[in-house]
Homo-oligomer: A and B are copies of this chain.
C-alpha cells in the first residue's frame, strides 16, 4: 500500500492528519497556494460534532451533518489530495509519517487528529458505556436507545424494565446537557405516541456530573439556568456525583448509591488522540501535545499540532494553561498556521496565536438555550434562536444546510423525531478482511 502521490518539484508537501475543523480549515486555506497538501483522515467525510447529539436522538441523519472530503476537494485545485487512512507514528528524523495505508514523506506535518472519549483508565466502563464522539457512536446510541425501548415492552421482569427505561448520561458539559435535553423531549413528545401502553413515568433520565455545576466552560448564571431548564423538562440532574463503575447494569456512584440502567451514555471527558513517537515529554494534560505559540510541537521544527489535540502552554497570554477544546480555537489555529506556513516559505516572521473568543452556547430544548458573548448573556428562546442560526451557518454545504433546516422546522412543528430506525450496515467480508490487514500495520517499517 502507498499514497501514490508524486512529489511536485518546487512545491513543499504538507501532510495534514485529521479533517476536523482545524485540519480542514488549514487544507482549504493552503489550496491553490505553493504547497502540495495531503489530508489523511480515518473517515471519508468531515463531520460537524456540535450536532452529533441530534443524530443520536433521531432528529437528524448522519449525512446532514457530514460532508465527503472528496466532494469538498473536487472543486478545489488538484493540489489537495485526500487519503483515507489512520496515522500511526512518525519518524521525525526522516520526515516520514506511517499510516494504516502506507508511509508518506512530508516537508511539514500537521497533527489535527482531535480527541476521543476519556474513560480515565476504567476498562470496564470503556467496554460497557456508550460514547457519543463520532457519527458511528451516535448511530450506535440511537440504535441502542430504540432497541432498549422495544425490549422494555417485552422483557420478563420489572427490574429489567426499569434498567431498560432508565437512561444515565455521565458528564455535564455541553454534549451531556444537550443529549439529556433531547432525550427529555423524546420522552414527552414521541414515546407516549409510540408506546401508548408504556407508563411514561418509568422512563427516567439522569444527568450525572462530578463537579458541582453543569457547563463548566460557561458562567455560573448559564450553568444554573441550564440545570433549571433540564429540571423543568423532567431530567434528574445530579451534581457533585462521581461515577466509580458500571456493574450488572448499575452505575455505581462514589457516595454509595447506584442507578440501574442499560443505557449508560458516557460523555464525561476527552483525551487527545495519540500518535506514536512523539517524545513523552511533549505530552501534556489529557494526552494533548505541547506546542509553542506557533503551534509547533516541542523539539520538532517541522511538525505542528492544532485544535483539540494540542495544548499551548505559555503561548497565548490570556490562556497560559491552554485553550478550551472548542471548534473556534481549532479553526483559528488552522487559519493562522496556513498563513504562517506561507510566511515561513517567504522568509517572513511568524505570527503567534491569540484566541479570539467568539462566545459559547448550549441548547437544552425547544426555545431553551443559554448563550454568552463577550458582553452579552442571553437565555431562553432568543439564545435558542441564535444557537440555531450559528449552527446552521457553520454546517458545510448548501444541501446540508437546507436538510438540517427542513428537519428542524419539521420537528418544531410536529414535535416528532423522524429517524427512529434500528439499522446496522452489514459489513462485507472483503471490508472486514481489509480492516484486519490495515490494523496490523505496526511500528517499524
Contact = CB atoms under 8 A, between A and B. Distances in A.
Contacts of A154: 1-4, 83, 85, 101-102
16 contacts: A3-B154, A43-B422, A45-B421, A62-B423, A66-B421, A68-B194, A70-B195, A78-B197, A128-B430, A135-B423, A136-B425, A140-B428, A144-B427, A262-B430, A263-B430, A424-B427
Interface string A95-120: 00000011000000000000000000
Given A140-B426, A425-B139, A68 B420 contact: yes
A419 interface: yes
Interface in A129-178: 130, 134-137, 139-144, 146-148, 150-151, 153-156
A405 interface: no
Interface string A187-226: 0000001111100000000000000000000000000000
Nearest to A101: B154
Nearest to A127: B429
B430 A144 contact: yes
A175 B62 CA distance: 26
Interface string A254-276: 00000000110000000000000
Nearest to A68: B420
Contact of A420 (B71, B139, B420, B426): B71
A189 to B, nearest CB: 12
A302 interface: no
A27 B61 CA distance: 29
Given A74-B194, A150-B84, A194-B70, A422 B61 contact: no
A276 B181 CA distance: 45
The residue in A1, A3, A143, A144 that gathers the most chain B C-beta atoms within 10 A of its C-beta is: A144
Contacts of A148: 430
Nearest to A45: B421
Interface of A: 1-4, 43-45, 61-63, 66, 68, 70-71, 74, 78, 83-85, 101-102, 127-128, 130, 134-137, 139-144, 146-148, 150-151, 153-156, 193-197, 262-263, 399, 410, 418-431, 434
Contacts of A146: 44
Contacts of A136: 423-426
A317 B394 CA distance: 63
Given A43-B423, A66-B421, 4 more contacts: A70-B194, A74-B193, A139-B424, A147-B431
A196 B424 CA distance: 32
A71 B146 CA distance: 13
Given A153-B83, A194-B70, A63 B428 contact: no
Contacts of A70: 193-195, 420
A154 B421 CA distance: 35
Contacts of A83: 153-154
